[in-house]
Chains A and B, each alone.
Chain A
Amino acid sequence: EVRLVESGGGLVQTGGSLRLSCSASGFTFNNYGMNWVRQAPGKGLEWISYISGSTVTIYYADSVKGRFTISRDKGEASVFLQMNTLRAEDTAVYYCAREPLAGPTAYAFDIWGQGTMVTVSS
């Protein structure tokens, strides 16, 4: 079964750090780009970061650039999001999403994890 499972969310103080993990199973991990998308309570979806299968290409949304770092581990079949200098507006459910690099659904987000909640509070 193709699956993504996020972990690492929780309550953190303003200015603090948190590291999210997304564990992948059921597919050849290196053949896919991976994204992080977040959703603030009662709000819409916001894409925040992408990493290619080779890790050569990385993108960030302006809202997190310089504070968040995306990475991936081939051996663990996992993608990570290191979040530093957290702000109240970073409070959201964080989803990881798979992005095929070939085939008919290429570049769409075809598989999503269940999400992990991050709450930033003073």
Chain B
Amino acid sequence: EPEVTQTPSHQVTQMGQEVILRCVPISNHLYFYWYRQILGQKVEFLVSFYNNEISEKSEIFDDQFSVERPDGSNFTLKIRSTKLEDSAMYFCASRRGWGSGNTIYFGEGSWLTVV
């Protein structure tokens, strides 16, 4: 079965540093997402991306965050100046189409630890 792949699997960074998390969505998928999960909590939506632009974002996705699809395969999440509270598992996800009949597939996650 095709997979969403994410790198790195784990990153430790100092507070205030910039972090880029990378994702390769499934190849024929058109909708891309980032979610995050703080340890012990539920998974929360951050942002969705379609047709090379953000289609929806949550209140969590403030000016510190940005997303980009720099080429035909990668989808990245950038955190400009990390804070302690950004420590979480970040999941990338993708789907082929929108609405009924389209499963959303998740990557294995990137653990981010901010110290």
A, B bound: no
